[in-house]
Structure 1
Amino acid sequence: MSLIRVTNLTFAYDGSYDNIFEDVSFQIDTDWKLGFTGRNGRGKTTFLNLLLGKYEYSGTIAANVSFDYFPFHVEDKENNTIDIVADISPDYEHWQLLREFSLLKVSDDVLYRPFGSLSNGEQTKVLLAALFLKENHFLLIDEPTNHLDIHARKLVSDYLKGKSGFILVSHDRAFLDNCVDHVLSINKTNIEIQKGNFTDWWENKERQDNFEMAENEKLKKDIKRLNEAAQRTSNWSHEVEKTKNGTRNSGSKVDKGYIGHKAAKMMKRSKSIEQRQQSQIEERSKLLNNVESSESLKIVQMAYHKQQLVELDHVSIHYGEKKVCDDVSFTVEQGDRIVLSGPNGSGKSSLLKLICGDEIPYSGTFRKGSQLKISYVSQDTSHLYGNLSEFARNNEIDESLFKSILRKFDFSRLQFEKDIASFSGGQKKKVLIAKSLCEQAHLHIWDEPLNFIDVISRMQIEEVLLEHSPTILFVEHDIEFCKHVATKIVELN
């Protein structure tokens, strides 16, 4: 066991006036299985890069271990996988690699295939196996679940459960719950570490947030009461002051000693109220700093003139001689929230594109309602660039509504001035989802919408789908999201 000590860490990117981290201190035990969470754009990947020594910073990061980053960058994917493994861990023993492959259910014949010919899931497993071959290395594992199907996620999560000595960035609640024993969270105003899995951390956060909100309401009422008391004292002082040099109504002389004594008592009372007010205001300022805003979203779908929107009857999709899915039958009716489930390569994205109107070669019967309007969210975000105003105009959506949704997704106003190409992966996905929520459509089709998106935003999206019950067909591998949202499951083998 050793410790990674972070002391008074402060960092900002060149040209930025805002610090990503400011005077933060904490320590990490290198035997922990550490989950790393926080909203998109808060600096999770930045912190991993600081550990890797990629940026200059003030403060200190002290560690007696070497750091390795996942995903490891593979320069030439035409090289055989065994050569890629040797690049990552030159001193490994072959039996050790086969042991890791066995745990990850990877066939050893992939070693003699070009790395680029492996599926995304196979590449993820090979890189994790190769990195865990190293001794006295602390692994920085950055979002390994993206593009992994449900079965592969469970396998990788079980694999990590049997390991230790890593930081894991993931927004998949079930994945984190299974394989971490501590959680490092980047909050709005600080960084903190708690023992337990993600659910433990979330329940603690909700308890703390609820306590602070109740305490805030109590202090608001106390401050209001004190303000009213201060106003009454001021009014009394004003009345006393008027009589100080005058006469009583009876015409007798004013007892100035009595009035002075009364005025002094009022002054003392006024000072006491002022001190209590200031104390309450200071207490209140300590609250709600880390309560995350997760305002509710809206989705308004157009009504369609028929109950049934889409029908597939024994549909098979094939590219040349390669058949990607076979004999698929299901219907989409108004109000359905259907998740297309199945392993990677089973044709889920191809089916979505067929329904959206792409020219996809298929056999069988496919029917789509006439003049059916579809709002589509793709997996790919590489085409996004330009500022948000231009994006709204080009896509003919209401700019103020679009930006309002992004504000609810935790975008700062400064973010509105930046090029979308500079956004984090999660922020880019939020742009596509916000666009979809703005569009007038009968059917929403979302292909892996949650890749890179933080947990709190996932919960916001869950809530809008449950509250407004739109008709939606989607592909998603987040088990918790699917369990909460889907009314039907279409399983592709």
Structure 2
Amino acid sequence: MSLISVSELTFAYEGSYDNIFERVSFQLDTNWKLGFTGRNGRGKTTFLNLLLGKLEYNGTITSPVSFDYFPFAVEHPEYLTYEVVNEIYPDYEHWRLQRELSLLQLSEDVLYRPYETLSNGEQTKIQLATLFLKENHFLLIDEPTNHLDLHARQLVSEYLSRKSGFILVSHDRAFLDHCVDHILSINKTNIEIQKGNFSDWWLNKQRQDQYELNENEKLHKDIKRLTEASRRTGQWSHEVEKTKNGTRNSGSKVDKGYVGHKAAKMMKRSKAIEQRQQAAAEEKSKLLQNIETSESLKLSQLVYPKSRLAELDHVSINYGDQTVCQNISFLIEQGDRIAITGPNGSGKSSLLKLILGEAIPFSGTFRKGSGLKISYVSQDTSNLRGSLSDYAREQDIDECLFKAILRKLDFSRLQFEKDMAWFSGGQKKKVLIARSLCEQTHLHIWDEPLNFIDVISRMQIEEVLLEYRPTMVFVEHDREFTRKIATQTVELRG
């Protein structure tokens, strides 16, 4: 057993007032299959960069193994794939690479194609296969599922379940459950490690949160009771003290020594109650620090005057001589939540763009209701820059509601002052989703909305969609999200 040791790690970006990590200490076994989770902006990618030695920090990180990062930068994507592999690991043995490709169900002929012509899924598999060829290396795998279709995710998950010695950052619950045996979580106030998969960690977290909520309620009642007791005792002490200067029954003189002793005794009792109250308050302050806020979001969708919003009848989409999908037929009716599924390249995004009204070449029949208002969440976030306030005005949405939704999706108020160009990938996706939830629309069309978005935010988004039941058509490779949200599925086979 070899250990990666992190001791008293403290780090903040230059110019920032807040530490991302402050005196953090823990140990990782180099044989673990470690899932890495935490809300967007908590420092997952930053921690990986610290392990790689890319950032200066206080404290110590010691490791008996070297670190490799996925995805690695490909300097010459025009090279044949085997040449790209050779640049990353010149000493690899070809038979071992063949074995890894076989496990990933990838044919050897991809090695002799230009790397840039490979699909996202093929590139992901080639990179993982190359990195796992290295010995005495610990892999830092950063969100490998982005842009992978369901079939590719399942293959990569099966592959990783056979491996060990890695940290895996992923927000796909089913993916994590299948291929990790420990969870490293960045919470609000600490970092913790638990044995088990994501579902085990989430169940334990819910139990701990509920325990703390119950303890918080009990201590709150204790503090209230002790406060009232302290106030009553203080009043009694004051009243007794006043009698020192008065008279007793039948005008007899007051025994000031007795009264003073009695008042002091009551004051002592009052102080003891106050101390117990303070101790209970301090104990209460230790609770609830790592409970993630998951407040409900609000969505108001316009009601279309007709039950049917759109219809596709034997639609095929063709780009020149290439048919990307064919004979697609389905209705979009009020309240439907339709998931479009299929492998990458099967025409899912093209189908969404056709419904949006873009000039997509197609045959068959496509009808869309007149005056239909559609809100679109694109895969692309590269155009987001400037302030959130300016963006809200440009999009003609309620700025207060927009920011309230972002607050509930774990945006700090400090984020509201930043340029969106500096947001993480997950934070940018949350901006698009929050904007869509604010728009007055009849139909939501979302194209892979959850890429980069953390698990807890995904659960919040699920909750609002299940509560308000908007009409929507979406493409999403998160199996749990699709299973919970979709009322029907349209599968494209490519």
TM tier relative to shorter chain: over 0.9
CA distance in 2, matches of 1:293, 1:312: 41
CA distance in 2, matches of 1:240, 1:436: 67
1:158 matches 2:162: no
What is the CA-CA distance between 1:282 and the residue it aligns to?
1.1
Given residue 40 of structure 1, which amino acid in structure 2 is its aligned partner? N
CA distance in 2, matches of 1:264, 1:302: 70
1:397 matches 2:401: no
Q: How many residues are treated as equivalent by the alignment?
A: 493
1:26 matches 2:26: yes
CA distance in 1, matches of 2:414, 2:397: 21
What is the CA-CA distance between 1:133 and the residue it aligns to?
0.6
- What does residue 278 of structure 1 align with? 278
What is the CA-CA distance between 1:264 and the residue it aligns to?
1.6
Q: Which consecutive residues of structure 2, in runs of 5 or more, have no partner in the other structure?
A: none
Deviations 1:371-411 (A, max 9, x none): 00001100111111011111111111111110000000000
Given residue 388 of structure 1, which amino acid in structure 2 is its aligned partner? L
Return 257-266 or 183-192, whichever deviates more.
Answer: 257-266
Given residue 26 of structure 2, which amino acid in structure 1 is its aligned partner? F
Given residue 321 of structure 1, which amino acid in structure 2 is its aligned partner? D
* TM-score normalised by the chain length of structure 1: 0.99
What is the CA-CA distance between 1:455 and the residue it aligns to?
0.4
- What does residue 426 of structure 2 align with? 426
- What does residue 266 of structure 1 align with? 266
CA distance in 1, matches of 2:446, 2:249: 82
What is the CA-CA distance between 1:235 and the residue it aligns to?
1.2
1:203 matches 2:195: no
CA distance in 2, matches of 1:172, 1:87: 31
Given residue 347 of structure 2, which amino acid in structure 1 is its aligned partner? G
What is the CA-CA distance between 1:16 and the residue it aligns to?
0.4
Change (3 A) 1:249 1:390: farther
Mapping of residues 389-468 of structure 1, within 5 Å: 389-468=389-468
Mapping of residues 270-349 of structure 1, within 5 Å: 270-349=270-349
Secondary structure of 2:19's partner?
coil
Contact 2:170 2:176 in 1 (8 A): yes
Mapping of residues 13-412 of structure 1, within 5 Å: 13-248=13-248, 250-412=250-412
What is the CA-CA distance between 1:252 and the residue it aligns to?
2.2
CA distance in 2, matches of 1:308, 1:406: 32
Contact 2:315 2:328 in 1 (8 A): yes
Given residue 304 of structure 2, which amino acid in structure 1 is its aligned partner? Y
CA distance in 1, matches of 2:64, 2:255: 80
Given residue 93 of structure 2, which amino acid in structure 1 is its aligned partner? E
What is the CA-CA distance between 1:249 and the residue it aligns to?
5.9
CA distance in 2, matches of 1:134, 1:82: 16
Sequence identity, in percent? Answer: 76
Deviations 1:273-321 (A, max 9, x none): 0110111011111111100001111111101110000100000111111
Secondary structure of 2:83's partner?
helix
CA distance in 1, matches of 2:331, 2:78: 42
What is the CA-CA distance between 1:250 and the residue it aligns to?
3.7
CA distance in 2, matches of 1:246, 1:125: 92
- What does residue 472 of structure 1 align with? 472
What is the CA-CA distance between 1:326 and the residue it aligns to?
0.8
Return 75-84 or 20-29, whichever deviates more.
Answer: 75-84
Given residue 403 of structure 1, which amino acid in structure 2 is its aligned partner? K
Q: Which consecutive residues of structure 1, in runs of 5 or more, have no partner in the other structure?
A: none
Contact 2:139 2:166 in 1 (8 A): yes
Given residue 172 of structure 1, which amino acid in structure 2 is its aligned partner? D
Secondary structure of 2:338's partner?
strand
The list of structure 1 runs, each at least 4 consecutive aligned residues, that deviate by more than 2 angstroms after superposition, is: 248-252
CA distance in 1, matches of 2:174, 2:36: 14
CA distance in 1, matches of 2:250, 2:359: 101
CA distance in 2, matches of 1:339, 1:208: 35
CA distance in 1, matches of 2:178, 2:430: 27
Contact 2:429 2:451 in 1 (8 A): yes
CA distance in 2, matches of 1:76, 1:271: 75
Deviations 1:147-170 (A, max 9, x none): 000010000000000000000000
CA distance in 2, matches of 1:250, 1:401: 73
* TM-score normalised by the chain length of structure 2: 0.99
Given residue 248 of structure 1, which amino acid in structure 2 is its aligned partner? R
What is the CA-CA distance between 1:83 and the residue it aligns to?
0.6
What is the CA-CA distance between 1:481 and the residue it aligns to?
0.8
Given residue 444 of structure 1, which amino acid in structure 2 is its aligned partner? H
Given residue 436 of structure 1, which amino acid in structure 2 is its aligned partner? S
Contact 2:241 2:260 in 1 (8 A): no
Secondary structure of 1:109's partner?
helix
CA distance in 1, matches of 2:411, 2:393: 19
What is the CA-CA distance between 1:257 and the residue it aligns to?
2.2
Deviations 1:5-59 (A, max 9, x none): 0000000000001000000000000000000000000000000000000000000
- What does residue 483 of structure 1 align with? 483
CA distance in 2, matches of 1:249, 1:72: 93
What is the CA-CA distance between 1:241 and the residue it aligns to?
2.3
